[in-house]
Amino acid sequence: MRTRWLDDAELDAWVRFIAVVELLPGVLDTQLRRDSDLTHFEYYVLAMLSEAPDRTLRMTHLAARTNATLARLSHVVSRLEARGLVRRTPCPEDGRATNASLTEDGWAAVVAAAPGHVETVRSHVFDALRPEQVDQLREIATALLTKLDPEGRMTTPYRRPRAGAAR
């Protein structure tokens, strides 16, 4: 089957988009590490827990919400647990499952980290976009996720939290 190469418009979009994908994580990690001693992924894990009922989620669900593999999450939760930010407890309903919960220190860490993180997101992302571009970005991301995440693991309808992701 012949390759369907990219045309000029697609290629131009792709080169820039890839650059964004390469650069954005570094920007987020650098700020969070400097100000809060957290990686962006660690922050995101804490933030997702902070929004969950009882600040608790099963590892599988937490992995889905953070777009991570279980293996990656397990390692990260181990580290966060060692730092006292998260606690693991066996799930009563299912003997195979583990619940991860935010500790008080963990809660304090997200609350402390959130403003600086949100400011970074705003200044590096949303300040550059017009309101209609925010909508376009949402639609484009939604479209891409149907291909990148066909099972729609993380496509849980969004509920507004009291703190977290970028509240």
**Residues at the interface with a second copy (CB under 8 A):** 3-6, 8-25, 27, 44, 66-68, 114-115, 118-119, 121-129, 131, 133-149, 154, 158, 160, 165-167
Closest CA to 98 of 87, 82, 83, 114: 87
**Residue 54 interacts with, from a second copy, DNA, none (CB under 5-8 Å by kind):** none
Interaction partner, residue 5 (DNA, a second copy, none; CB < 5-8 Å by kind): a second copy
Q: How far apart are CA 82 and CA 48, in angstroms?
A: 19
Taking residues 77 to 116 in sequence order and writing x for each that binds DNA by CB under 7 A, - otherwise, the string is xxx--------x--x--xxxxx------------------
Q: Between residues 24 and 59, which has the closer beta carbon with respect to a second copy? A: 24
Q: How far is the CB of 32 from a second copy (least distance, A)?
A: 13
Among DNA, a second copy, none, partner that 72 touches (CB below 5 to 8 angstroms by kind) = DNA
Residue number, 92 or 131, with CB nearest to a second copy: 131
The structure tokens listed for 149 are: 């995440």
Binding segment (CB under 7 A) for DNA, from list 1-9, 26-34, 108-116, 141-149: 26-34
